[in-house]
Structure 1
Amino acid sequence: MSAPVKRSPKAAQTIEGGRFMVVGGASLVGSATCEELLAKGAAEVRLFDNFSFGSGEAIAHLKDDKRVTVVQGDILKLHQLLAATEGLDGLVHLAAFMTLSMDRDPWAGIDVNMRGVQNVLEACRANKVAKVVFASSNAVYGYGPGVKGDLVEETPFHSVGAPPAAILYGASKIVGEQLCRDAHRRHGQDYVILRYSTVYGERQHYRAANALYIVETHDAVKRGERPVVIGDGSETKHFVYVGDLARANRMALESDATDVAINTSGPEPVTTLELVTMVAEISGRPDLTAEKREPDPTKVRLTSGGAFRIDHAAAKDAIGWQPEVGMREGLARLLAWRDRAAG
């Protein structure tokens, strides 16, 4: 049984009239989080990004809102963070290398995912930012056959049989979480850790290993080609809609919960075969059945598959959150957005 959630009145931040920053703001989750905070009446939202992974297109729809400030900066440069975090009430830290980018450049990924987090926390300490929300991942439970059953917040890390990049990513998120706990212990920094499942939604990119199944399947179907499934299609995927995560970020800031890590997963898991079948059906081509292929050992894919379920009951207890958008509805929204963007 989980320990009672720690509560502190000073941890709760009022969004209306508040000033917040989203680190990694020019991203899928960053842009949605900015929209969520603005919709709830934030006086200012700063989007801090070095644009190595984020893009101007992801936040183009926000540029005319005078409450939005775009700060181009690098989390590895503490002086830039110190300047950018002045006068804030809260901060959402999203910037990170994911598994595919970690596979291409592990040294840079370790730097960003560990030293970058420490820099963000130090800037928040120096400028007395009251609340930090840290985007972690269900990768903290590891990968491979040892990961099974219900994954709850106390589930240990497993690494046997998993690709090195996936383990490096998961381990880096564990370190990031521990840095948050250390900042709370040393300096009283209030924080909430959200362990994201694979995120998907409008303004989807091509960088997330499992979300690639969605966008690559949609691309194939639009070309009239059969979608590809790696393996037999029975691998389970764990997705969460971007709007649900933006809501979780906002609710974590508002909550009086502190010094806690919670899962933020979708309503239900989905197999790879179910996923590509839904994409084909929503795209109007149910006749394009999946083609099954053997895994390519040189590619990092299927990183969150497994015989497990990511339990999100603790999130409701801690911050009042639960997912609202099911997979078919979320896919319909994403594919409609992609079709509109394609003209």
Structure 2
Amino acid sequence: MTTVKQGKALNIKDSRILIAGAASLVGSHTADLLLKEGAREVLLLDNFSFGSMDAIAHLQNEPRIKIVRADLMRLPDLLAATEGVDGVIHLAAYMTLGFSQTPWQAVDVNIRGAQNMLEACRVNRVKKIIFASSNAVYGYGSGIKGALSEEIPFHSVGAPPAAILYGASKIMGEQLCRHYYQSAGQDYVVLRYSTVYGERQHYRAANSLYIMETYDLVRKGQAPVLPGDGKDTKHFVHVSDVARANVAALQSTATDVAVNVSGPAPITTGELVQLVLEYCKSDLKPEVRPDPPGKVRLTSGGAFHIPHDKAGEVIGWKPVVQMREGVMRLLAWREQQDS
């Protein structure tokens, strides 16, 4: 049994919750769930450089929603936004593709931006912050095997630089949370997401993008592309499960801890392609075509899995959406966008 430090637990119905990076896949679903759970007010903070108003359009007329246009790099913005806030869910960050394309900005936002948010939480005595990390903190280098449990070290051999930079930025964010806990008593929980996918999917995440790219090819009558033999492992978690983890972490008494938020089971690239073909009722055969030089794809081959047992012990969470159901829901949503 995991021994966890005890901190503040939020009663959602009495709370004002701020979501940073709210105009996003995870942000919009988390806002939906917070409203369903009766939150007093939900503040949706974003600078809309990546996030889309489309993701939160359905929330704009909700009286308990407040949209806050602010930038992580401006501490005064965050000080104003977090005043009177009980809990913060910090999602705003550059992803691996961003580190490949604009590493300077990505480093600033993922590290200095996280520090700015923590400082604002300290000044305004925010009761708890949930920091969205990633299983990229394990490195995904060649040779990783077995369970990627929360205690294993960072492994970088063979992984592309953008993936290492992204993972390292999340390690920095996690350690900034620890620093603020130790120096200022700032309660926090780190959630290490696997690749998140689901309705309102964007085209910025390297692995979720593969689902969308495959679907787009098949709908055009073109063969889906396998970058290898189809046996490389991918780890996904449905966005509705991630939203539940965010809320569960706020409601828990846990603090100063990091847990994996992963799906029920890993899936191979080949199995993923078959799910897309099944949805599209297509008999197209996948074409093996190695990724071109410089292509960023987070997961590599390897007999590893990402256990979420600790999340069950610490925040009372486990995933419920199986990959087949999640892909079918995602593609049904995608199809509706074209109708």
| TM-score bin (small chain) | over 0.9
Q: Which has the larger displacement, 141-150 or 246-255?
A: 141-150
Partner residue of 1:7?
A: 6
Match of 2:41 among 41, 44, 53: 44
User: CA-to-partner distance for each residue in 1:55-106, whole Å, 9 max, x for gaps?
Assistant: 0111111111011111111000000000000111100000001000110011
Q: Deviation of residue 303 (structure 1)?
A: 3.3
What aligned pairs does 1:79-94 form with structure 2 within 5 A after superposition?
A: 79-94=76-91
The 1:160–1:73 alpha-carbon spacing in structure 2 relative to 1, beyond 3 Å, is same
User: CA-to-partner distance for each residue in 1:312-343, whole Å, 9 max, x for gaps?
Assistant: 00000000000000000001111111111111
Question: Secondary structure of 1:71's match?
Answer: strand
What aligned pairs does 1:106-121 form with structure 2 within 5 A after superposition?
A: 106-121=103-118
Partner residue of 1:188?
A: 185
Check if 1:303 corresponds to 2:302: no
Partner residue of 2:205?
A: 208
Does the 8 A contact of 2:2 with 2:314 survive in 1?
no
Alignment partners' CA distance in 2, 1:111 and 1:305: 31
Match of 1:315 among 311, 318, 334: 311
Report the residue type matching 1:191 in the other structure. Y
Match of 1:129 among 122, 126, 129: 126
Question: Secondary structure of 1:16's match?
Answer: helix
User: CA-to-partner distance for each residue in 1:168-199, whole Å, 9 max, x for gaps?
Assistant: 00000000000000000000000000000000
Report the residue type matching 1:322 in the other structure. K
Does the 8 A contact of 1:78 with 1:123 survive in 2?
yes
Match of 2:30 among 33, 46, 53: 33
Q: Deviation of residue 288 (structure 1)?
A: 1.4
Question: Secondary structure of 1:13's match?
Answer: coil
TM-score (norm 2): 0.98
Poorly superposed stretches of 4+, deviation over 4 Å: none
Q: What are the ranges of 5 or more consecutive residues in structure 2 without an aligned counterpart?
A: none
The 1:87–1:216 alpha-carbon spacing in structure 2 relative to 1, beyond 3 Å, is same
Alignment partners' CA distance in 1, 2:69 and 2:210: 31
Partner residue of 2:164?
A: 167
Match of 2:143 among 143, 146, 156: 146
Report the residue type matching 1:110 in the other structure. V
Alignment partners' CA distance in 2, 1:3 and 1:336: 39
Question: Secondary structure of 1:76's match?
Answer: coil
Question: Secondary structure of 2:191's match?
Answer: strand
Q: Deviation of residue 250 (structure 1)?
A: 0.3
What aligned pairs does 1:220-239 form with structure 2 within 5 A after superposition?
A: 220-239=217-236
Alignment partners' CA distance in 2, 1:86 and 1:302: 37
The 1:241–1:302 alpha-carbon spacing in structure 2 relative to 1, beyond 3 Å, is same
- RMSD, aligned CA: 1.0
Q: Deviation of residue 3 (structure 1)?
A: 5.0
Report the residue type matching 1:301 in the other structure. R
Q: Deviation of residue 16 (structure 1)?
A: 1.0
Does the 8 A contact of 2:72 with 2:113 survive in 1?
yes
Does the 8 A contact of 2:18 with 2:89 survive in 1?
yes
Q: Deviation of residue 146 (structure 1)?
A: 3.1
User: CA-to-partner distance for each residue in 1:10-37, whole Å, 9 max, x for gaps?
Assistant: x100111310000000000000000010
Q: Which has the larger displacement, 292-301 or 17-26?
A: 292-301
Alignment partners' CA distance in 1, 2:5 and 2:232: 36
User: CA-to-partner distance for each residue in 1:114-138, whole Å, 9 max, x for gaps?
Assistant: 0000000000001110000000000
The 1:267–1:104 alpha-carbon spacing in structure 2 relative to 1, beyond 3 Å, is same
Partner residue of 1:281?
A: 278
Partner residue of 2:92?
A: 95
The 1:195–1:305 alpha-carbon spacing in structure 2 relative to 1, beyond 3 Å, is farther
Question: Secondary structure of 2:189's match?
Answer: strand
Match of 1:156 among 153, 158, 161: 153
Q: What are the ranges of 5 or more consecutive residues in structure 1 without an aligned counterpart?
A: none
Q: Which has the larger displacement, 266-275 or 299-308?
A: 299-308
Question: Secondary structure of 2:259's match?
Answer: strand
The 1:248–1:304 alpha-carbon spacing in structure 2 relative to 1, beyond 3 Å, is farther
Report the residue type matching 1:319 in the other structure. I
Partner residue of 2:337?
A: 341
Does the 8 A contact of 2:19 with 2:43 survive in 1?
yes
Alignment partners' CA distance in 2, 1:40 and 1:3: 27
TM-score (norm 1): 0.97
Number of aligned pairs? Answer: 339
Match of 1:290 among 286, 291, 297: 286
